[in-house]
Structure 1
Amino acid sequence: MKSFRFFLVFFVLIVIAHTGFAQDTGDAQSLTKEAVQLNKAGKYAEAVDKYSQALKLDPENIYANYGMAFSLLASEKGKEGIPYLQKVINSNSSITIWAYDLLGSIYDKEHDSAKAIEAFKAGLKLDPKYQSIYYNLGLVYFRDRNYAGAEKCAIESMKLDPKHASSQRMYALVCFHQNKRANALLGLCSFILLEPNTARTTEAYGNITHILQGGILLPPAGTPTLMVDANSLALNNAISKAIADADKKKYPSPADQLTAELTNIFTAIGQLADKQNADPVFKKYFADYFYQLAQSPNMPAFARMINWGNTESAKWISEHPQYMNDLDGWVKTTARDF
């Protein structure tokens, strides 16, 4: 999850390359644009040199200051970039929010959680709808084992960008760490729908298997076990019962058994969540959605899609393209809301 922060800031620099530089003067503009291209090519040390030249000509250039900080962070010299970001922050310009985001990432890289959180919160005060900061703040909370805080950030990030796969993944993992198995399971399934057939998908499927087998993530040694609330405990028990009911039958293949298990689970969770008076995000965005999927004819395709790397699943997928197209069509046309 960590690498996405750098990609996002990197993307911002690409955007800068296609915008006007109202504050640039003469050669500073050309040097800044050259530095952007060097950043795109991963030549961060050379980009630092170009930004240095640009800032000699125009010390207050907010784009060059921001770009310098980014390049230094990418060069493992993040702390050196802080003074440049302070200039951008003090400018109160349109990219001040970017500076807070990058500043928080620098402090996070330096393992200074308190300052990272302070920077991210300052950014959110400036722009409460800045999705990237919610995600990055969630990562800090996650590493600090503040799983409840990370869950809240993941939810806000998902609300602002429902297609952001990494936020779905973070939501699932932090819920798993809280032994909220239903939230984690549906979060992992949701993540795979957005990012199928990658290394992270394989990892996600491994976590799904662990959940289906009744596994939990044990807290570190010396850390007290987290207490699970009554609603989550009831949902956990519903998963176990749904699996037990499905496993009373025999199936032609493991994928068919997984189809039956997930169908039972999605149905049970959907029905139970509808009765519970808590966590409306989980109910509407996850439980209701996967309950609808369980009632559709697309579960065989879904069960194989989430385990794409399996030889049997891959063979079935290649032999049933229409099933996969139907699943894709269902995902694109089925409404989903918070």
Structure 2
Amino acid sequence: MSRLTIIPSVLKYIAFFFFLLVGFSLKGQSQVDSLVNEGTKYHDEKNYEKAIEKYQEALKINPDSWLAHYEIAFSSYEMKDYENAILNAEKSIKNDKNSAYYSYVILGSAYDIIGKPKKAIRAYEKGIKKFPKKYLLYYNLALTYYNLNDIINAEPNAIKAIEFNPSHPSSHLLLAYMNNQKGERSKTVLSLYYFLMLEANSPRSKEALNLLNSLHKKGVTRRDEKNIDVVVNVNDDKDFGASELMMSLLEASKNLEENKDKSQGELFFENTKSFFTILGELNDKKPKSSFQKRFYVPFFKKLVHDKHTEAFSYYIQMSSEDKEVLTWLELNGNQIEKFGNWYENQNK
């Protein structure tokens, strides 16, 4: 009988202490979250030292908080304290392997900056193994390989980054630089067009637009009033070999009598539309073997079909500060808005 009466009593005390511990745990986590939130506010104000103080207070309550360690890593990275960023990114990963995606980004980036690209690559690859759909890991990995002049490994990772997030401008720009380095003119142009659509008015945009224009003009020289020389680079690119000649001929056509009174903005639009149209037609006839033929060409073909090429062409020239371009943009805000809505619908 005594045994039957003792067990419920013991269970009652066990239950009491269990709920007491749970209560303390929840309260502690609430305090940690509150301190981390305070820290992130300081971080957003660029007061990184004060932010780290708050995160360290959170660690006194819960030394294993992956989030507090991550935030310290992030603030340390912004302060250029890369050793501390690495230390806390590693602790964040160790304490919560399922929630530390950005910790791998910080870890790899810090290693890259201090001149340890091999460790950066290992960090990104470990992150990709656990988070195989996170575009930023692929982009950073591609960038590290690119800076090592290893285009063979850089290119597929840049493509992966685009596949997982087509709206990330830097991935398209990086791919453009890789293809330009390889002498692949058409592929470079396609990536630059897409990048400029995503980021039309920044210092990078101005450089990208200049490169785009220079590639269109490549090999086209006006000898005199009646003669234009067109030199086309013959390469082994089976996907875009024909487009090299087409691009040069379109550029040369700017000098025709019928085009002499047209503005640069108009000519840019007309040649862009022709380029996309012909590429789309060529793409329908041949297997889509490359990423560019699978991704960029169908996108720009649809852009032409849905009649947004004019808005697109003027919009991506924004950084040129050309008065005619800026005037067109000012007078045609409704077309730009429709084009923006169209683009958003492509990604749904």
TM-score class, shorter-chain normalisation, is 0.7 to 0.9
Q: 2:327 aligns with which of 304, 315, 335?
A: 315
| 1:48 maps to 2:52 | yes
The amino acid that maps onto 1:240 is: S
With normalisation by structure 2, the TM-score equals 0.78
Q: Does 2:90 align with 1:86?
A: yes
After superposition, the Cα gap between the structure-2 partners of 1:328 and 1:85, relative to the gap in structure 1 and judged at 3 Å, is closer
Q: In the TM superposition, what is the alpha-carbon distance from 1:45 to its structure 2 partner?
A: 1.7
Answer with 287-296 or 176-185: which moved more: 287-296
Choose the corresponding residue for 2:237, options 229, 252, 255.
Answer: 229
Q: Secondary structure at the match of 1:59?
A: coil
* Residue 277, structure 1, aligned to residue 287, structure 2: yes
- Check if 1:139 corresponds to 2:149: no
- Per-residue CA deviation, residues 98-117 of structure 1 (Å, 9 max, x unaligned), is 32222111111212111101
Q: How does 1:1-338 map to 2 (within 5 A)?
A: 24-25=28-29, 27-214=31-218, 229-245=237-253, 247-248=255-256, 249-250=258-259, 251-277=261-287, 279-295=289-305, 297-308=307-318, 309-333=321-345, 335=346
- Are the equivalent residues in 1 in contact too, given 2:217–2:251 (CA < 8 A)? no
- How far, CA to CA, are the matches of 1:134 and 1:228 in structure 2? 28
Q: Give a deviation string over 1:18-53, Cα, whole Å, max 9, x none.
A: xxx969557544433322221111111222222233
| Higher relative contact order (Cα pairs below 8 Å, separated by 6+ residues) | 1
Indicate if the aligned counterparts of 2:169 and 2:199 stay in contact, CA closer than 8 A: yes
Distance 1:307 1:252, change over 3 A: same
Would the aligned equivalents of 1:62 and 1:88 in 2 still touch at CA under 8 Å?
Answer: yes
CA contact (8 A) 1:195 1:201 kept: yes
Q: TM-score, normalised by structure 1?
A: 0.80
The Cα RMSD (Å) is 2.7
Partner of 1:9: none
Contact 2:218 2:248 in 1 (8 A): yes
Unaligned runs of 5+ in 1: 1-20, 216-226
Question: Which whole-Å CA distance do the structure 2 matches of 1:69 and 1:23 have between them?
Answer: 25
SS, match of residue 107 in structure 1: helix
Query: Aligned AA for 1:185?
Result: V
Consecutive unaligned residues of structure 2, counting only runs of 5 or more, are 1-24, 220-234
Cα 1:235/1:141, change in 2 over 3 Å: farther
Would the aligned equivalents of 2:28 and 2:61 in 1 still touch at CA under 8 Å?
no
**Identity across the alignment (%):** 26
Higher radius of gyration, 1 or 2: 2
**Pairwise CA distance, 1:133:** 0.6
Distance 1:336 1:69 in 2: 33
Question: Contact 2:179–2:187 at 8 Å: present in 1 too?
Answer: yes
Alignment CA distance shift 1:282-1:35 (3 Å): same
For this pair of structures, how many residues does the alignment match? 305
State the SS of the aligned residue for 1:231.
coil
Secondary structure of 1:105's aligned partner: helix
C-alpha distance in 2, partners of 1:199/1:136?
Answer: 21
**Contact 1:289–1:336 under 8 Å retained in 2:** no
